[in-house]
Copies of this chain bind each other. A is one copy, B any other.
């Protein structure tokens, strides 16, 4: 636990969010993670690599996933430094998936721009993403823990499978809550769970502790993504903000819509078929969608689900030793839904 308390106390007055508290309590560990990230991101042979990753990996990122790994390990009294490698691993995997998501998302946004530009970005995003995956792989091998490798290999497969599943499920009104759960486990929860579980494994936790850490990460990740998907429809506000409706415009079937589709009247069903399945969207459709969501209490049903996952995350923590970090992880779970309360 060396070095965590000093930094935490001196900065205590400026602290607002649980994530800020984690960052502060784990300041020395995070500094080591950031050093390692910068060092391993470099490429002797290909200077384009740090160019592409700099804005993603350098300062600015929330670093939530590595904080989870560090917190899990420290909470179980870990005194080594392999948790730093794991934390960097997890951040590299996260960054790599962002780069690969860019290929999908940027391509759509840049539809009107010169193809050469588009291609260049695609190439760099795909290949630099692959490079970060490979670097993360090297880092985890350095920990020498086959169990950690197994956890991260399985998480990688779940992530990729979830992303592919989303390709086919997103615009299909038959997509139900079970499929949605698989998609967001891949998109978000699998890496959260691997982050906390691997931290526990590297710290030599017992089976009960490791299971609790995995369950915490999984439930936190699911709550986090449900809230994110709610916010895309304005969260609890019924006001259309500037980011409202991105998923709607991209015809991405997320939990709010899935809940509304399940309760749809025949006319509403026709509406969803037109705007989501056929992608024939017109002026006023987003407002209309939000009226339908309100009619079926879809957003508040999502909030209930998110709260239930937060409760699961917090219950899992009960199987872990009492520790200041445990308290903050519990606050973090509450904080996740506070964005829509």
Please tell me if the beta carbons of B167 and A127 are within 8 angstroms of each other in the complex: yes
Proximity bits, A36-55, B CB within 8 Å = 1, else 0? 00000001011111000000
Which residues of chain B come closer than 8 Å to A162, judged between CB atoms?
45
Interface residues of A in 160-195 (CB under 8 A from B): 160-165, 167-168, 182
| Residue ranges of A at the interface with B (Cβ–Cβ < 8 Å) | 43, 45-49, 97, 100, 103-104, 107-108, 111, 115, 118-119, 122-124, 126-128, 130-131, 133-135, 137-138, 141, 144, 146, 149-150, 152-154, 156-157, 159-165, 167-168, 182
Please tell me if the beta carbons of A138 and B122 are within 8 angstroms of each other in the complex: no
Which residues of chain B come closer than 8 Å to A104, judged between CB atoms?
119, 122-123, 126
What separation, in Å, do the CA atoms of A107 and B138 have in the docked complex? 31
Which residues of chain B come closer than 8 Å to A159, judged between CB atoms?
130, 134
Residue of B nearest to A169 (CB): B46
Please tell me if the beta carbons of B168 and A46 are within 8 angstroms of each other in the complex: yes
Copies per assembly: 2
Q: A126-B126, A134-B159, A149-B141 are in contact. Are A164 and B119 (CB under 8 A)?
A: no
Residue of B nearest to A145 (CB): B146
What separation, in Å, do the CA atoms of A321 and B146 have in the docked complex? 32
What separation, in Å, do the CA atoms of A104 and B167 have in the docked complex? 20
Please tell me if the beta carbons of A161 and B122 are within 8 angstroms of each other in the complex: no
Please tell me if the beta carbons of A157 and B182 are within 8 angstroms of each other in the complex: no
8 extra interchain contacts, Cβ-Cβ under 8 A, other than A48-B168, A103-B122, A127-B163? Answer: A46-B168, A122-B122, A130-B160, A131-B157, A133-B133, A133-B160, A137-B156, A141-B146
Residue of B nearest to A151 (CB): B141
